[in-house]
Amino acid sequence: MLPLSVLDLVPVREGGTVSQALAISARTAQVAEKAGYKRFWVAEHHGMDGIAGGATSVVLAHIGAATESIRIGAGGIMLPNHTPYVIAEQFGTLAALFPGRVDLGLGRAAGADGRLANALRKDIVGASQHFPQDVAELQARFAGQAVGGVSSPQAVGADVEMWILGSSTFGAQLAAMLGLPYAFASHFAPAMLDEAARIYRERFQPGKVLDKPHFMVAINVYAADSDEEAHYLASSTDQSFVALRTGTPGKMPPPIRDYRESLPGSARAMLAQVRSVSAIGTPAKVRDEILAFQARTQADELIVSGAMFDPDAQVRSLELAMGAMEGIKA
């Protein structure tokens, strides 16, 4: 069967708290594990009231402790926000706590403005330019090298599966050059998906990690008993996207029926573009749209994003989607 995984932003809902968001994410991971999802990834975002995943490695320890077998990982760590040394320590420690279960997805886009860069005490622009070198340093530290004469005891020999993430062709080129698996953020930035996939596959150089390309793509998935209900549940994330793009981000709002139809044309067009890679509807419709997307991309894995205001509806969507896909060969 085509491997499916889950991408979680750890959303904080209106009227909710960070503690509640973390508890919901742990429960979601438990349901995903039971349903048969392969990985549960958490994304790094900072300075946002509606996202509680900023301390990504800490959140992953929480998720790992709540589950038994599902792989846990960062989707991803924005490496320009950090030093490779600290990330090697953190993920080496996670690998010691949860052997054979830890993924480290690495992104180049810091997602930080000047104020956040100051708060992080980082030259984000400069660090972004050194992303390939920082990835290489991480690889060296996990291999046991004392880079700069300083060892990383927690990282030495750690079983951490490294991925390169991207929403453009840069990550595709780097993943191909390093012979690493590559994940594309098509759930919100689909414009360069096909070109990135082509570059990654054409330029891939086999190495110690992989002997052939391994490509994962992200898709928004909202499954419910009816198409109307699924679109209604998806409207919370639609609202969050509009709020973000108009400079008013906040906590995840409750859903609104016929939300997109209520928007001006420019906002509808924006949502249609950034959310174009989506499977929304009944389980049968979701299955057909996932299979069509996989056929288009020839992806080796899919990772689904589908945050909802109602946690019960969110986990049920995961169950319905996986149930619809069972028995389908990759």
pLDDT at residue 111, rounded to an integer: 61
Is the residue at 241 inside a domain? no
- Structural domain range at position 111: 4-233+277-325
Is the residue at 119 inside a domain? yes
Is the residue at 262 inside a domain? no
Is the residue at 171 inside a domain? yes
Interval 213-255: pLDDT, tens: 999 999 999 999 999 999 999 999 999 999 999 999 999 999 9
pLDDT at residue 305, rounded to an integer: 98
pLDDT at residue 47, rounded to an integer: 85
pLDDT at residue 330, rounded to an integer: 56
**Count of structural domains within the chain:** 1
Amino acid of residue 216 = M
Helix H, strand E, coil C: the string for 240-297 is HHHHHHCCCCCCECCCCCCCHHHCCHHHHHHHHHHCCCEEEECHHHHHHHHHHHHHHH
Q: Which residues of the chain fall below pLDDT 50?
A: none
CATH of the domain at 143: 3.20.20.30
State the angle between helix axes of 131-142 and 169-178 in degrees (0 to 180), rounded to the nearest 10. Answer: 30
Is the residue at 238 inside a domain? no
Is the residue at 260 inside a domain? no
d(CA 252, CA 270): 19
pLDDT at residue 217, rounded to an integer: 98
